[in-house]
Amino acid sequence: MLMEESIEPYGQEQTTKSDDTIITIENDPVMQSALDILPILGKKNKVILKSRGNFIPNAVAVANIITEKMLHGNSKIEKINLDTMAAAGIGNMTSTIEIILIKT
């Protein structure tokens, strides 16, 4: 990113460029991650979940728990971005996902 970012607990980043809260989902328990994201989504109305590689299913599970179980009818997935990063010169590729959740 072009703007400076400050790291917050639970893998959260609050970007100074916009009001979006970016949360990196890794190997934490999915239910705990969903519970940690709920108050953030209540305050900000928009949360971006990011994950890569083997942790992508965790991010998808967290998004589904929030939108289908916890805030059913009050939140939705606005957009999903998929991408692949290639390591320079090595040929290894890592998939990435970005899930944008909004409170309706």
Q: How confident is the model at residue 14 (pLDDT cuts 50, 70, 90)?
A: very low
Q: How far, in Å, CA of 85 to CA of 98, rounded?
A: 13
Look up the CATH number of the domain holding residue 97.
Answer: 3.30.110.20
**Would you state the pLDDT for residue 17?**
46
Question: Which residue, among 98, 97, 71, 95, has the nearest Cα to 84 in the 3D structure?
Answer: 95
Query: Number of folded domains in the chain?
Result: 1
Range of the domain at 31: 5-103
- At residue 6, the pLDDT reads 33
pLDDT of residue 90: 72
pTM: 0.78
